Amino acid sequence: MNTLIIGGTTGLGLKLAKRFKEGGDNVIVTGRKEIKEDIEFKAFDLSSPELARRINDFVVELPDVDRLVYAAGYFQEGRITDLSDAEIEEMIDVGGRGLIYFVKSLLSKQDKLDELITITSTSQWTPRQKEPVYNFAKAGVAHFSNAIAEDGRVAKVLVAGPAGMRTEFWEGIDRDDLNEMLDPSWVADQIIDLASEDYKYRFARILRQPARVEIIETR
Ligand SMILES: NC(=O)c1ccc[n+]([C@@H]2O[C@H](COP(=O)([O-])OP(=O)(O)OC[C@H]3O[C@@H](n4cnc5c(N)ncnc54)[C@H](OP(=O)(O)O)[C@@H]3O)[C@@H](O)[C@H]2O)c1
């Protein structure tokens, strides 16, 4: 399979890239920071202007993509009035619009996609006063992906919502529970297992304390 991982330069996206590559896929990862691993990297900044056009231009140059993994995201904390308009727009671009336009551009070009894997968060279903736009983005991409599973051109959709993981996501943030967070390698293994079965749509929560997987819906 040709697998494209948006947000695959670090953390969970990079672990998934390694797993899919070990399984024989041709893998391309995107992000802003070049990676040292032996995985094909293409720079793509989700926070720059003209996102829809740039995504389309990027996709047109790619070989056909069979599996799209959308793992891009970053931590943002603040009540809605604490966030600047630019911060709100950036979270919507990186967390939401990016997925919408990658799916749109891929389907416009190829007319089919074998698999979509969307990484959300517990913030998909847990409202948090200090994460309103992250809540918006994660809930939105989850339901968008669910709707895309109804589009006959997309064969299979997995929405995976992990709890806290020990990744670069928390860089520069003062958290005293990092050691209790999930190992992103373990989370990647759970996602590979969840994706290995036959279905049209699946939503699973990947939780901690204890580390476990709860499959909420499969159809
Ligand atoms: N870590 C957690 O506790 C946790 C918990 C629940 C859900 N999640 C979700 O899990 C997913 C993976 O996160 P992670 O923990 O693996 O974090 P991570 O290591 O920080 O990885 C985030 C990825 O997103 C990319 N990215 C972020 N902003 C971008 C931008 N403006 N343009 C292009 N790429 C951008 C990063 O690439 P560059 O830095 O190279 O741009 C990186 O590849 C995210 O969707 C996150 O919301 C994380």
Q: What pLDDT, on a 0 to 100 scale, did the predictor assign at position 65? A: 98
Evaluate: CB of 135 within 6 angstroms of ligand 1.
Answer: no
Contact 86, 38 (CB under 8 A): no
CA 216–ligand 1 middle distance (angstroms): 24
Evaluate: CB of 159 within 6 angstroms of ligand 1.
Answer: no
β-bridge pairing 201-207 and 212-218: antiparallel
The per-residue pLDDT for range 129-139, each reduced to its tens digit, is 999 999 999 99
Query: How many residues in the chain?
Result: 219
- Across 144-153, b (16+ Cβ under 10 Å) vs e yields bbbebbeeee
Provide the whole-model pTM: 0.99
What ligand 1 atom has the least distance to the C-alpha of 170?
1
Contact 26, 39 (CB under 8 A): no
The per-residue pLDDT for range 30-45, each reduced to its tens digit, is 999 999 999 999 999 9
Percent of the chain whose predicted confidence (pLDDT) is above 90: 100
Contact 6, 98 (CB under 8 A): yes
Taking alpha carbons only, the member of 125, 122, 72 closest to residue 100 is 72
Provide the 3-class DSSP secondary structure of residue 165. Answer: strand
What ligand 1 atom has the least distance to the C-alpha of 181?
3
The per-residue pLDDT for range 77-99, each reduced to its tens digit, is 999 999 999 999 999 999 999 99
- Distance between CA atoms of 99 and 46, rounded to whole angstroms? 10
CA 74–ligand 1 middle distance (angstroms): 5
Domains recognised in the chain with CATH numbers: 2-218 (3.40.50.720)
What ligand 1 atom has the least distance to the C-alpha of 35?
40
CA 6–ligand 1 middle distance (angstroms): 9
Site to probe by mutation for ligand 1, drawn from 5, 10, 208 as the one with most ligand atoms within 8 Å of Cβ, is 10
Residues of the chain with pLDDT under 50: none
Evaluate: CB of 74 within 6 angstroms of ligand 1.
Answer: yes
Q: What is the DSSP string of 112-140?
A: -BSEEEEE--GGGTS--TT-HHHHHHHHH
Contact 30, 6 (CB under 8 A): yes
CA 75–ligand 1 middle distance (angstroms): 8
